[in-house]
Amino acid sequence: MKRPGPVVAAVVALLATTLVAAGSLWLGGFDPLQAGAALVRGSVGSPTALTITMVRAVPLILTGLAVSLAFRAGVWNIGAEGQLYAGAIAAVTVGIGGAGLPALILVPLVLLAAALAGALWAAVPAFMRVRLGVGEVITTILMNFVGVYLAAYMVSGPLQEARGIFPQTDPIADAAQLPILLPGTRVHMGIVLAVAVGAVMWVVFKRTRFGFAVRAVGSAPKAARIVGLIPVDRVMIISFLASGAIAGLAGGVEVAGVTFALYADLSPGWGYTAIAVALLGGLHPIAVVGTGLLFGALGSGAAAMQRDAGIPLAWASAVEALVILSVLAVDQVRRRTDA
Amino acid sequence: MPESLALIAFLEASVRLGVPLALAAIGETITERSGVINIGLEGSIISGALGGALGALWLGGAWGGLVVGALAGLFVALVFAAFAIGLGTDQIITGTAITLGGLGFTGAIYQAEFGATGTALTLPTLSEMPIPGLSSLPVIGSALFDQAPTTYLAYLLAPTLWYFLFRTQWGLELRAAGEEPDAAAAAGVRVRLVRFWATGFGGLLGGIAGAHLSLAHAGTFTENMSAGRGFIAIAVVVLGRWNPLLVLIAALLFGAASALQFQAQTFGLDLPYQLFLAFPYLLTLAALAGWVGRTRAPAALAVSWPRRR
């Protein structure tokens, strides 16, 4: 039997998710059809809804790309959430401190700081993995908690807004803000940046020696080590740090493009949703742009579902889990038909 | 406050914070010894916490809550097992999804049941059961032996499971499934079945740990109240070298280290509370960094079996 393609697999996984999700809503006493209508209306039902979806997709595409890069290299980076917060903290610090600089300099500085902070956050588990032999799954998750609490501390401590009332920072300088892409909407240049990162990653995977090394290390680390042509540890560390940098960039872009300040609850768990985004996209950089948009739609639609159909927001993260499980199951079935 | 009272309060806090970790980590020890790492433990714990709360309300008592919580934790672990062991999906990603789903579904059920704003839920609590004699020992008596019954479960399980793992045929087979599944299978061990049971058992204890949180610890349920304990428990398993007795001790030591935060506040050490909240996670990272090189995980941990072709 011919092995079905990745697109077919993704569609089957989505159908399975939809069925289980609708079933769980029905069991919970909600009307799945009404819920579905609200989801569509809230995500793509109007020009405004579409722009909200696009804005929400930006951090998901970036963190999804971060996770894809790590997973491809066989690095279980579950830490995009913490790396995102590290990036956001750095972005706000530079965005406030750099007031007076022209936008042409300040915007790149803010984004660079965010990426560096994300990479730094990833460096701790990367070091522990390569030098101390501590698996990165637990350490990256622990670093998430530290990152979230660090942000909470920053917004009520050293970086709290000048009046010291609200748990948030002062706004960043105007020149640190990302330009708006579509006038009259909130769609900012971050979406272009996210797509560009995806495109660059695709070229790197497809056309460079490093991309080949990443794939080799990810699919057969022992073989890569034995053959000796590929510096396995170095490829792993670079992928890990780059993954952290992209996740950090997501935090910086969100601050510079949307919130203009840091809040303790900046992220509703994008770093975790990113895993679903990456897996549904088959870890393929271009596909991840698409699945990021899809999950952006789920996010904007979930708000409408709560408003119009009374469905709890938390249900959306349950759906993310269903997507991951469906992808895994479909993938497993594909392997079997292949054999 | 007199020194001894402060010490007693500290010891009590240590045990109170250590017990949910101990229960979850002892269960995960069994799971991991069979060759399965269940990152979805957090999902079992949060489900156990909500199950405990709902059970206590439906059945009108904390004991009923404990049973429902345990079953909820078991159910979540069986979902994990169906994918990771039944289908042979990647254990790490499956576990992450189970944790996400556990947090999501419990949040949604809680909001649907009690409203999004959630007026604080007051639950019947699992009250302390002092052990006659032992609880009146000086200093350590009330801290160790005047606690919720789930505490004693942890004390009893650690030696029992140690005996099971290292002194019985079943324990040997379970460890064989986690070290050399091919050899174990050749010797007639039903590897997947063993792993299934071991995972279910871990989920059951995770559920009890969660029910302990809502029924003995907090007396209420809040979303995400498990607060990463499942992940810390997995680290505690490493620190306890996959040995139930050492895991119990590691969990209690960990509880003591976390209890230091209250001590610092008592002694007027004025650190911001967000940094205190981050402390257990930093501590876990430091402990892993300093410790792991000297331990060895089960050889087939996180390797699905039969191996992929």
Give the pLDDT band of residue B267 (cuts 50, 70, 90): low
Question: Between B109, B278, B289, which is nearest A149 by CB?
Answer: B278
At residue B261, does pLDDT exceed 60? yes
Cβ separation B272–A150 shorter than 8 A: no
For range B79-89, the mean pLDDT = 95
CB A117 within 8 A of CB A249: no
pLDDT in tens for each of the 339 residues of chain A? 455 677 888 899 899 999 999 998 898 888 999 999 999 999 999 999 999 999 999 999 999 999 999 999 999 999 999 999 999 999 999 999 999 999 999 999 999 999 999 999 999 999 999 988 888 999 999 999 999 999 999 999 899 998 988 999 999 999 999 999 989 899 999 999 999 999 999 999 999 999 999 988 888 888 888 877 788 899 999 999 999 999 999 999 999 999 999 999 999 999 999 999 999 999 999 999 999 999 999 999 998 998 888 888 888 888 889 999 998 999 888 877 765
Please report residues of A whose CB lies closer than 8 A to that of B238. 138
pLDDT value at position A37? Answer: 93
Measured N-to-C along each axis, helices A285-309 and A32-44 cross at an angle, to the nearest 10 degrees, of 120
Question: Of A10, A11, A22, A72, nearest to A319 (Cα)?
Answer: A22
Using 50, 70 and 90 to split pLDDT, how confident is the model at B226? very high
A132 close to B (CB below 8 A): yes
Shortest CA distance from A158: residue in chain B:
B272
Contact flag B87-A149 (C-beta cutoff 8 Å): no
Angle, alpha carbons A149-B54-B277 (nearest 5°)? 15
Q: What is the pLDDT at residue A4?
A: 64
**How near does any CA of chain B get to the CA of A148, in Å?**
9
8 Å CB contact of B88 and A332? yes
Q: Cβ contacts (< 8 Å) between B293 and chain A: which residues?
A: 132-133
Query: Do A314 and B232 lie within an 8 Å CB cutoff?
Result: no
Q: What DSSP state is assigned to residue A268?
A: S
Residues of B in contact with A132 (CB under 8 A): 289, 292-293
Q: Which residues of B touch A320 (CB under 8 A)?
A: 97, 100-101, 104
Nearest CB to A312: which of B101, B107, B282? B107
Residues B132-184: tens digit of each pLDDT: 888 888 878 778 888 888 999 999 999 999 999 999 999 999 999 999 999 99
Max CA pair span of chain B: 66
CA separation for the pair A161, A65 (Å, rounded): 32
Please list every residue in chain A whose beta carbon sits closer than 8 Å to the beta carbon of residue B103.
314, 317
Single-letter amino acid, residue A270: W
**A97-107 pLDDT tens trace:** 999 999 999 99
Q: To the nearest whole angstrom, how far is the Cα of B278 from the nearest Cα of chain A?
A: 5
Residue B60, pLDDT score = 82
CB distance A82 to A146 below 8 Å: yes
**Which range among B45-49, B87-91, B276-280 has the greatest average pLDDT?**
B45-49
* Residue B289 with chain A: CB contacts under 8 Å: 128, 132, 134
Q: Give Cα separations from B60 to B56, B81, B128, B216 (angstroms).
A: 5, 31, 18, 15
Q: Is the peptide bond before B306 cis (omega within 30 degrees of 0)?
A: yes
In chain A, the domains with their CATH numbers are 6-338 (1.10.3470)
Mutation pick from B32, B96, B234, B291 vs chain A, by most beta carbons of A within 10 Å, is B96
Cα distance between residue A324 and residue B100, in whole Å? 10
Q: Is the pLDDT of residue B116 over 80?
A: no
Please check whether residue A42 is in contact with residue A305, taking contact to mean a CB–CB distance below 8 angstroms.
Answer: yes
Return d(Cα B290, Cα B282) in angstroms, integer: 12
Verify whether the Cβ–Cβ distance B92 to A317 is below 8 Å: no
**pLDDT score at B268:** 65
Tell me which chain B residue has its CA closest to the CA of residue A269. Answer: B100
Mean pLDDT of chain B: 89
Which region holds residue A228: left if phi is over 0, alpha if psi is between -120 and 50, else beta? left
Is the model's pLDDT at B117 over the cut of 70?
no
In this complex, do A153 and B272 lie within 8 Å of one another by their Cβ atoms?
yes
Does B104 contact A157 at a Cβ distance shorter than 8 Å?
no
Tokens encoding A264? 């303790």
* A316 in B contact zone (CB under 8 Å): yes
C-alpha to C-alpha distance for B172 and B191, rounded to whole angstroms? 12
pLDDT confidence of residue B15: 92
If pLDDT is split at 50, 70 and 90, which confidence band does B7 have?
A: confident
pLDDT at B112 over 90: no
What per-residue confidence (pLDDT) applies to B119?
62
